[in-house]
Structure 1
Amino acid sequence: MTFSQTKSMPRDASARRIAIVDIARTAALLGMILFHLVFDLAMFGFLPADTARSAGWPLFSKLVAGSFLGLAGLSLYLAHGSRFRPRAYLKRLIRVVAAALLVTAATYLAQPDFYVYFGILHSIAAASVIGLAFLRAPAVVTLAAAVAAFALPGIFDARGWSIDWPLSLGLSQQIQPAMDFEPVFPWIAPFLIGMALGRIGQYAGIWETLASVASDENRLVRLAAWPGRHSLAVYLVHQPILIGLLQAWMLVAPA
């Protein structure tokens, strides 16, 4: 995670990493892996079939998804809030879009009736484009937009309104079943909140402080931050690894 030190250094100063943000992303990854492990255990019959849809697991999964989007919004602001770098932005966006399309293709081949047509990566990609409009906006404006985005689906439901295309907006009364679905509304809300916190933290000097508190010179910090710095790769490989391990377990230790 990077930011430009606009208060004390020129705008073209080299960016520094904020390890604490990467560590927060690592924590979100651990939450995601835990939820998917529970989901997979239920799918393979090691747990009751509805485990991931009962108790507090649905709320837990929403909190994890919201944390990813919030951190993505924070990252967008820290990387480009002071000076937009189109090459770096496009490189990152292309990677996220490519990964999202890979998830869509893989899940369609595996379960065509429940494939991921607009999951967390699709949502991050869309929010990363929409978020450009808020890079220079005051934090209060961005927060107001987040509140509106969060409330919009509820307003549509209450009034019986529906926008059926594209379904990715999240404003349709008829949603196509999917293994993972994080539409633009309301999921752009945590992304915008992350952007607003980025701006607030910049003016308060929080990011410079955090960058110095958790230094990469500490081996434990580097270790904790590593998964967060490679979150896209971890996201793509963790489910195949979990499923492969469970399949292997069923072969060597059949019930």
Structure 2
Amino acid sequence: MIAPLPPSSGSRLIAIDLARTAALTGMAMYHFVYDLTMFGWLPEGTAVTGFWALFARAVAGSFIFLAGVSLWLAHGRGIRWPAFWRRFARIAAGAAVVTVGTYFAFPQYFVFYGILHSIAVSSLIGLAFLRLPAGITLAAAVVAYFLPDLWRSSALDGPLAFIGLFETRPLTVDFLPIFPWLAPMLCGVAVGRIAERLNLWPRLAPPDTLWLRRLSWPGRHSLAIYLVHQPVLIGLVWAGTWLLR
């Protein structure tokens, strides 16, 4: 049996929102480095190699993992379809904005399957795992992670590259295909289920203080912040470049 939901879901959600705030901070740090590289303030390739490349993957994985935890918290005891579709529509609309915006900004490298696309599709797939034991979900996550290393096909290049089993990687500035990026979503679903079974959410809930609510505010508005932060950062770096050079 799964333990009952904690009596104060608001406190529990503050913990998730605080985690999202931390992920947003990491995302902004990475994109600032990316923009500095793009404008020539850092050596070419700084943002896409070494530490910063690993950092970017860790930040993206944390967002998708938290989306999986949230999927379980919201629908683990039964899918609330109206709420699910409202959230899905917001994420899909945000993904469309990113695709259109990057198409005009970087037509040769536009984002056709970035992190928002990945979260939207992985959330749909994640629904199938909500009622399964955590062990099965974690096993599926392992398969999702390693599948691209085990099998690829040129038949899945081009329009089907978003599946992640391509032989030729598409040219795009942000790309998180289904495989392996379904893995952190499924891990989040499994962890959400395990934490609830062990009744961990009340123990993990921080005190509901004014400062923590303020710190959790970005996490509650992560989609909007994601959509606006990069244009703002690019504008700031461009302005700084114009003034200093």
Tell me the CA shift for residue 215 of structure 1: 3.2
TM-superposition CA deviations, 1:142-194 (whole Å, max 9, x none): 0010001011100015xx67523511101010121100000000000011000
Corresponding position of 1:254: 244
Corresponding position of 1:25: 20
Structure showing the higher helix proportion among its residues = 2
The gaps in structure 1 that reach 5 residues or longer are none
**CA contact under 8 A between 1:18 and 1:207: conserved in structure 2?**
no
Corresponding position of 2:76: 81
1:172 & 1:32 partners in 2: Cα distance? Answer: 27
**Match 1:7 to one of 4, 8, 14:** 4
Corresponding position of 2:161: 167
* Amino acid across the alignment from 1:163: L
Q: State the SS of the aligned residue for 1:115.
A: coil
Corresponding position of 2:39: 44
**CA contact under 8 A between 2:17 and 2:216: conserved in structure 1?**
yes
**CA contact under 8 A between 2:3 and 2:197: conserved in structure 1?**
no
Corresponding position of 1:199: 193
Equivalent residues in 2 for 1:126-165, closer than 5 Å: 126-157=121-152, 162-164=155-157, 165=159
**CA contact under 8 A between 1:156 and 1:162: conserved in structure 2?**
no
Corresponding position of 1:221: 212
Aligned residues: CA RMSD? 1.8
1:88 & 1:152 partners in 2: Cα distance? Answer: 32
Tell me the CA shift for residue 89 of structure 1: 0.5
* Amino acid across the alignment from 2:72: Y
Corresponding position of 2:66: 71
Which structure's relative contact order is higher, taking Cα pairs within 8 Å and 6+ residues apart?
2
**Match 1:232 to one of 220, 223, 230:** 223
2:194 & 2:177 partners in 1: Cα distance? Answer: 26
Corresponding position of 2:178: 184
TM-score, normalized by length of structure 2? Answer: 0.94
CA gap of 1:153–1:14, structure 2 versus 1, over 3 A, is same
2:8 & 2:202 partners in 1: Cα distance? Answer: 13
Aligned length: 242
The gaps in structure 2 that reach 5 residues or longer are none
- Give the share of equivalent positions with the same residue, in percent: 49
1:22 & 1:8 partners in 2: Cα distance? Answer: 18
